[in-house]
Amino acid sequence: MCGRYAASGDLSELVEEFDIELDRHDEPTASLLKNPQDPPAGAPDWNMAPTKQAPVVLTRSDPDSGEQRRQLRLLTWGLVPSWAKDPSVGARMINARADTLADKPAFARALAARRALVPAQGWYEWQASPTAVDAKGKPRKQPFFIHRGDGTTLAMAGLYEFWRDKSAPADDPAAWVVSFTIITTEAEPGLDRIHDRQPLVLEPEDWKRWLDPSLTDPEGVADLLSYAAPGRFAAYPVGRGVNSNRNNGPGLILPAAPAELIGVVDPMTGEVIG
């Protein structure tokens, strides 16, 4: 699964990297957070957590020209289906399994017409130790940071959806919750020593087809849902500060000190460290 990631890229850089035609990150939509987002939505966030608003790339019709344009928007992490009675269900839909998307009512319609890319510098995953336990006697969990070995921005495949608060005025733009989920696949060799799932990461040559809203037959992107290219990623253990979503900053992705590693499995060699 992917339950935390680093959305630490500058928005202006994302506009360039993803060939954005319309930067609409400042378009108002409803937030599901009880308190103001910290860091503010759109600012570099090294500890992106569910229900926060994050940069997402999608292609939609431009209301001014009517043409399909690639856009950058801020969407809420945790997909809320249009038919949901309460937007709180989104907190349970932060991930969607690639192999069952077409069979799930919450995701099937979005798969057909509302596909997106979620930019990230990397994601966090927690490895359950085979040898060490915590104070409660459960396997000790070590956080890892996983990123592209070439240092470029990840493009995680996602889906997005619109949900409207029917109690809000008809002309209130904040009545709309625009949300997304991150698609996951089986973890590749090496990364499966950290967790058995990982985000589906697409390459630049596939972005246009994945984002094309006119491609409404899921069979047209079926091969992308099973895309895999082992060897793209590097992973290393980081400090336990990332365990709390109150912590933030670039220090979260610094490698953990050797003394902090207890019963940690090296994802490349399988060796137990500490």
Q: How far apart are the first and last CA of the chain?
A: 26
| CA–CA gap between residue 94 and residue 2 (Å, rounded) | 8
Sign of the four-CA dihedral 37, 124, 16, 117: negative
Q: Give the active site residue among 2, 16, 17, 260.
A: 2
48 with 77: CB under 8 angstroms?
Answer: yes
Q: Tell me, what DSSP letter sits at residue 244?
A: S
| CA–CA gap between residue 54 and residue 35 (Å, rounded) | 16
When computed from its CA atoms, the radius of gyration of the chain, rounded to whole angstroms, is 19
Q: Give the active site residue among 17, 21, 125, 188.
A: 125
Extract the tokens encoding 237. Answer: 């253990």
Q: Does residue 21 carry a catalytic annotation?
A: no
Q: Does residue 2 carry a catalytic annotation?
A: yes
| CA–CA gap between residue 215 and residue 57 (Å, rounded) | 17
| CA–CA gap between residue 17 and residue 6 (Å, rounded) | 17
Extract the tokens encoding 21. Answer: 């035609």
CA distances from 68 to 22, 64, 65, 166, 176 (A): 10, 11, 9, 28, 21
Report CA 75 to chain centroid distance, whole Å: 11
180 with 116: CB under 8 angstroms?
Answer: yes
Q: Strand, coil or helix: what is 108? A: helix
Nearest Cα to Cα of residue 74 among 147, 232, 180, 229:
180
Report, as residue numbers or ranges, the catalytic residues. Answer: 2, 125
